[in-house]
Amino acid sequence: MTTPAAVIEDAAAYAQAVEAAVQAAAAYYRDGTSALDDDAYDRLVRGIDAWEAGHPDQVLPGSPTGKVAGGAVEGDVPHTVAMLSLDNVFSPEEFTAWTASLARRVGHDVTRFGVEPKLDGLAVAARYTRGRLGQLITRGDGTAGEDVSHAIGTVEGLPRELSEPVTVEVRGEILMTHAQFEHANEVRAAHGGQPFANPRGAAAGSLRARERAYTVPMTFFCYGLLPLTEEGRDALADLPHSELMARAAAYGVNTTAGTPVPGTTADSAEQVLARVREIAALRPELPFGIDGIVIKADLAADQRAAGSGSRAPRWAIAYKLPAVEKITRLTAVEWNVGRTGVIAPRAVLEPVEIDGATITYATLHNPADITRRDLRLGDQVMVHRAGDVIPRVEAPVVHLRTGEEQPIAFPEACPRCGAGIDTSQERWRCEQGRNCHLVASLSYAAGRDQLDIEGLGHTRVVQLVDAGLVADLADLFTLTRDQVLGLERMGGTSTDNLLAAIGAAKGRPLSRVLCALGVRGTGRSMSRRIARHFATMDHIRAADAEAMRQVEGIGTEKAPSIVEELRTLAPLIDRLAASGVNMTEPGATPPAPGETAGEQTADAGAAPGGGPLTGMTVVVTGTMTDALENLSRNQMNELVERAGGRASSTVSKKTTLVVAGEGAGSKRAKAQALGVELTTPAAFAALVADFIGPPADGAAR
C-alpha cells in the first residue's frame, strides 16, 4: 500500500513542512530523538516532493528532497566514495515502474537482482588496513561523516581483525537487536538515565556517546564492500554484489546470511516481489527491526551503467514496508485481573493506525516495567505492532514531554476483589489467586482443550459459583444430582448430562488436568511436556527446581516458580485425586534418577513401537480441513505427539514438517525461507490416519 503524501496547500505550508522535515531528520540521524515517527516523516517528505514537482521555481535550498539523510547532518571525515541514501517505493506498482526505469538506463532488462532486508539502524563505514580495523565513520551528509572509532569494541559482528590482511572499507548498518535494546534500557535506567524510545534511537545515541559511564552492545550487518587499494580494485571491482557479500562473510564480517532473512538473488521482478512478501511475513519474528527490503542490480556492469544521482544510486531501491512503530499519547492505564489472579496493566492510547489496524490499547507488561521505563500519564509513547503481535508500549518519547505528565498510580489493593496484592514478583498477583476470578478460572478449566466438560459454559459456572456450590475446581467433582437440579433451568436430562460430562472429565490425561490447574508459566504445550516427562502427578510434585529444568523449555527463572505454585496447589490437587481425577499420563514413563529430559522424552507418550512422526518436530498453522477440520490447535498438537512427533509453535531450522492450512502466513513463509518441508492438511491426515480421534476414555494414546 502506497504511503499517502501529506497535503501541502501553499508556499507558507511548504516552508513549514521543509523546516519540520529537516529538524526531524537532524534529530533522527543525530541520536534518534525525532518528533516524527518514520511513517509521519515519509508522508511529510512525499508531500514536499509533490509540492516541488508542481512548483519547481519555488524549491527552497534547504529542502530534504534530493539530499542524503534529508540534508540535515554533517561530518568532518571525507568518504572514499559517496555514501548515499536510497530512494523508496511503497507498492508493487511503484517497484515495477522503477524496474522499467532501470531497464531504460542500462539499455536492457535487468535479469539479476540482489534482495536483502533493509535494516533499521545507522549506516557506517569501517575502514580496514591490512586486515585491521582502524576507523569507523557515520554516513553524515554522504560526502563526509563523523568519526565514531571510540565505539570499536562495542559492536558485535565487526571484527577488529579480518581473516585476510586486506585493505578494504566495509559498509553496513549498526543496530540494536530487540534483546540488546532491552538490555540497554536496563543499563541506562540503572545509571539514572531516561529510557531510549526505540532500538534505532538507542543505537544512534550509543554509537556517538563518548563520555558515558557505561557501554552497551550493538550489532553490525554488512551491506557493501569497497576496495581501498589498486590491487583490491582489480580483484573486487567486477564482482556481483552477492559475491561481495560472500567475500565479506569469508573475511569474518557479519552479514544477513545467518539470519532468517538472508540476502538472496532473484532473476525477475516477479521473484523479487515474492521475496519481498516472504521477508514481510517473517518480519514479526525477527530478532531485529527492519523497515523494508533493499533491491539492487546485482551485476557490477548494470550498476555502472545505471549510475547514481546526488542523493541515491539509480541501481538500488528500498521497498518500504508499513510502519510498525508510531508515536501516540498514553491517556490512562487500566489494571485487569486474569484468571490466575495476575494483575496486568494495560495502556489506553489515543487511537493510532499501525500497519492497517487502529490501536487503542497496548501491553504494559508489569508494574516493574512501568517503573523501569519511567512511563507517565500524558506521555507521548512509541507503540510497536508487527503482524498479529499484541501491540506494546516501547518507551516514552522523553524529549516531547511538556512537564504536565503525571505519575502512573499503582493499585494498593486488588482492583477486582479488594484483597491484598502479592508484589514479591515482577508480575503482581491478587492474594486470592484463582479465587479472585473464580468464574474465569473454572470456565478455562472446563474448556475444550483442558477438561472438555460439555455443558459447563460461562453461564452455568456463574450459577454454580453464585449458589455457593463451587468454590474451587475440586468442588465440581463432588456435585450431587440434587444440588444441580436446584439450579434455575436445570431439568433432569440436562442435570444428568452435565454430571456425566464431569464424570468423563475425571479420565482426561494428566497433561489436560495440569493445564486446567492454570499453573503460571505453563500453557497447553508446556503442560504436555511436563506430564510426558514425569508421567505422574506424584513425580511432578516431588520435582525440585533442578528436576523441573530438565523439561524442554523450562529455564532457570521459570522452574522455581512452577515448583512453588505446585506446592501452593497441593491441597487442591489432593482433593482432585481423592475425587477420582486421573493423575497419570497414558503412554509416558517417569524419568529414572539422573536421566535427562532429552533421554527420557524422546519416546514419552509416543505411539507404541514408534509412529509415523517419530523423531520429527511438527508445526501446525492455518485452518485445517477434511479429517482435521474439527480439531482445535491443542488437539492437533496432541495428535502430533500421539503419532510420535514433537509439536512446536515456532518454525526454525530444527523444524521437520509444517502442516500449512488455509490462511497460513508468516510460518509458511518462514518454512519456505528455511527449506522446511511443507504439507497440506489432507496429506497430513493421511499420514497420521491411524492416530486421528481420541481413545474411548478420552486420554491421549
**pLDDT over 90 (residue 498):** yes
**pLDDT over 50 (residue 607):** no
Residue 55, classed as helix, strand or coil, is coil
Query: Cβ distance 585 to 509 under 8 Å?
Result: yes
* Overall average pLDDT of the 89-104 stretch: 95
Residue-wise pLDDT for 568-580, tens only, equals: 899 999 999 999 9
The annotated binding site for Zn(2+) is made up of 414, 417, 436
Name the least confident of 298-302, 431-435, 469-473, 598-602: 598-602
At 31 the pLDDT is: 60
* Overall average pLDDT of the 616-644 stretch: 86
Query: Cβ distance 648 to 630 under 8 Å?
Result: no
* Overall average pLDDT of the 547-560 stretch: 86
Give 657 or 524, the one with higher predicted confidence: 657
The annotated binding site for NAD(+) is made up of 38-42, 85-86, 116, 139, 173, 296, 320
**pLDDT over 60 (residue 620):** yes
**pLDDT over 90 (residue 595):** no
At 340 the pLDDT is: 80
Query: Cβ distance 253 to 162 under 8 Å?
Result: yes
| Average per-residue pLDDT for the chain | 87
- Residue in this structure with the C-alpha cell 450459577, named with its chain if needed: 463
- Residue in this structure with the C-alpha cell 499453573, named with its chain if needed: 519
At 537 the pLDDT is: 95
Residue-wise pLDDT for 226-258, tens only, equals: 999 988 888 888 999 999 999 999 999 999 999
pTM: 0.65
Q: Which of 118, 558, 667, 670 is catalytic?
A: 118
Residue 118 designated active-site: yes
* Overall average pLDDT of the 325-342 stretch: 90
Output the nine-digit C-alpha cell for 228: 581501498
Of 3-12, 340-349, 390-399, 432-441, give the range with the top mean pLDDT.
340-349
> pLDDT grade, residue 520 (50/70/90)?
confident
Residue-wise pLDDT for 62-80, tens only, equals: 787 766 654 556 678 999 8
> pLDDT grade, residue 20 (50/70/90)?
confident
At 606 the pLDDT is: 45
Residue-wise pLDDT for 638-697, tens only, equals: 888 888 888 888 888 789 999 998 888 778 888 887 788 999 999 999 999 888 865 434
At 4 the pLDDT is: 64
Query: Cβ distance 384 to 392 under 8 Å?
Result: yes
Query: Cβ distance 251 to 189 under 8 Å?
Result: no
Q: Count of CB atoms within 10 A of residue 7's CB?
A: 11
The annotated binding site is made up of 38-42, 85-86, 116, 139, 173, 296, 320, 414, 417, 436
Report which of 626, 538, 519 is spatially closest to residue 582, judged by C-alpha positions: 538
The phi and psi torsions of 393 (rounded to 5 degrees) equal -85, 120
At 51 the pLDDT is: 81
